[in-house]
């Protein structure tokens, strides 16, 4: 079972460092306020959001290409970089599915390139996926 599945693409678990971080089931509110007696009125919404973030180990250009091609092939909308994802929810102790987008501020860490300027090795990178 994959630790994280983006659409139909299983993120390679062997490349994920053990320190995966998750902000499970973040609660949302609308129009909350503190009343004139000092009591907070919180109007919690039923929809929750999860954020999953992990760092990958250094990898070859071929491994990086496999990941990026796997993500891109599963985008529902290319501009949004989104997909239906499957992940383990630590709060509930079960696998869940949610509509996530690949963080728009993702940074590629290139370590080496060949004589033509083509990357051959990538460093550790942090990948974040945020539920709508």
Indicate the SS3 state at residue 117: coil
Q: 35-58, pLDDT tens digit by residue?
A: 899 988 887 777 788 999 999 999
Q: Which of 5-9, 76-80, 91-95 has the lowest mean pLDDT?
A: 91-95
Q: Give CA torsion, residues 23, 106, 1, 131, to 10 deg.
A: 40
pLDDT value of residue 92? 85
Q: Which residue has the higher pLDDT, 31 or 59?
A: 59
pLDDT at 21: 77
> pLDDT tens, 17-34?
987 777 877 777 778 888
pLDDT in tens, 103-115: 999 999 999 999 9
Q: d(Cα 101, Cα 24) in Å, to the nearest integer?
A: 15
Residue of 2 and 130 predicted with greater confidence? 130
pTM over 0.85: no
Dist CA 74 CA 109 (whole Å): 23
């Amino acid at each position: 079972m994959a630790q994280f599945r983006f659409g139909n693409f299983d993120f390679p678990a062997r490349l994920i460092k053990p320190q995966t971080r998750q902000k499970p089931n973040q609660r949302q509110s609308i129009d909350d306020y503190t009343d004139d007696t000092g009591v907070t009125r919180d109007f919690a919404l039923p929809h929750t959001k999860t954020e999953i973030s992990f760092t990958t180990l250094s990898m070859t250009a071929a491994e990086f290409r496999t990941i990026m091609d796997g993500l891109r092939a599963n985008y529902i909308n290319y501009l949004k970089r989104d997909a239906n994802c499957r992940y383990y929810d630590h709060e509930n102790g079960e696998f869940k599915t949610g509509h996530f987008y690949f963080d728009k501020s993702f940074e590629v860490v290139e370590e080496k390139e060949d004589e033509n300027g083509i990357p051959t090795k990538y460093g550790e990178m942090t990948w974040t996926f945020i539920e709508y």
